[in-house]
């Protein structure tokens, strides 16, 4: 069980690293990217997702993981 979790966690970290600029842009503008796997969750997520340019600037300064 813990191996499956660890593998999924590493996959998420790789995704964040690969899509860093897209994710930071989404945080800055308060949008959710058009990703096929988020279609059914989009409405629920939009209720809680607002633009945060200050945090996006902080993340740009920090840079991507890895």
Among candidate residues 22, 20, 12, 24, the one with its CA nearest the CA of residue 55: 24
Which residue do the tokens 């860093």 mark? Answer: 20
C-alpha span between 33 and 42 (Å, rounded)? 9
Q: Does the pTM of the predicted model rise above 0.75? A: yes
How many H-runs (helices) and E-runs (strands) does the chain carry? 4, 0
C-beta of residue 27 within 8 angstroms of C-beta of residue 55: yes
How many folded domains does the chain comprise?
1
Spell out the per-residue pLDDT of the chain, length 66, in tens: 577 788 888 898 998 999 999 999 999 999 988 777 777 888 888 888 899 999 999 999 999 987
Domain containing 42 equals 2-62
C-beta of residue 29 within 8 angstroms of C-beta of residue 51: yes
């Amino acid at each position: 069980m813990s191996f499956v979790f660890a593998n999924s966690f590493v996959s998420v970290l790789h995704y964040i690293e690969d899509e860093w600029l897209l994710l930071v842009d989404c945080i800055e503008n308060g949008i959710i990217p058009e990703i096929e796997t988020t279609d059914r969750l989009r409405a629920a997520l939009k209720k809680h997702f607002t633009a945060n340019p200050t945090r996006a600037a902080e993340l740009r300064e920090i840079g991507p993981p890895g």
